Chain A
């Protein structure tokens, strides 16, 4: 895939998914604390979101940042617009703005542990919830 095709594919993913998170690793297995915290917030809000792991090909990050004009990962997009990275997402979560933006039920900002997160058969929470 050429750089241009890659950029088009990223652009399409942003347009086609109401909520999409570009991150290091996956929601199940985040590879960076900032990505993990951002996933934790989305899970606490109990909204579904698409995610893209930028690690497999360094060009993904390069093209994403060229497109968004934002240097760092993670990057959360809602309805085609860059909401921000980890700091902005955390701040907007705590103020309640993020819940409004993503149309989540007003989740208690003081409980990022996602009280209704699925509990696995072994009784352990998902790693990203523990990190949140």
Chain B
């Protein structure tokens, strides 16, 4: 069984020019891990969700997410960028991206992990820790503590 939060899906100080590039990268990684079976379907699910309400949550943080039948396990992917990118039409700048992939039959425990993670991101101290973490492991520890 896959861990919801795992070092394998934490990427720090990567460089991307656009939101599209960053999201593509994260989704590609899930496809390689066999968590997402169909790249296109999941990308369009993310896009649909984004259109409903921007997943930018302030403080340079975005949490793109989607529920889809092409997702086999609920996971979170973390991407810390080396420089901010434009995240939406409002020109919001993003530095940290947490992408949640949620299967349609999401088990309660997994959903609970994701929602606890979402709650954590609302805390200044947590966000500061994530910004200052030197290793992937530190990020996982912060998110799972």
Question: Do chains A and B interact in one complex?
Answer: no
Q: Interface residues, chain A, CB within 8 Å of chain B? A: none
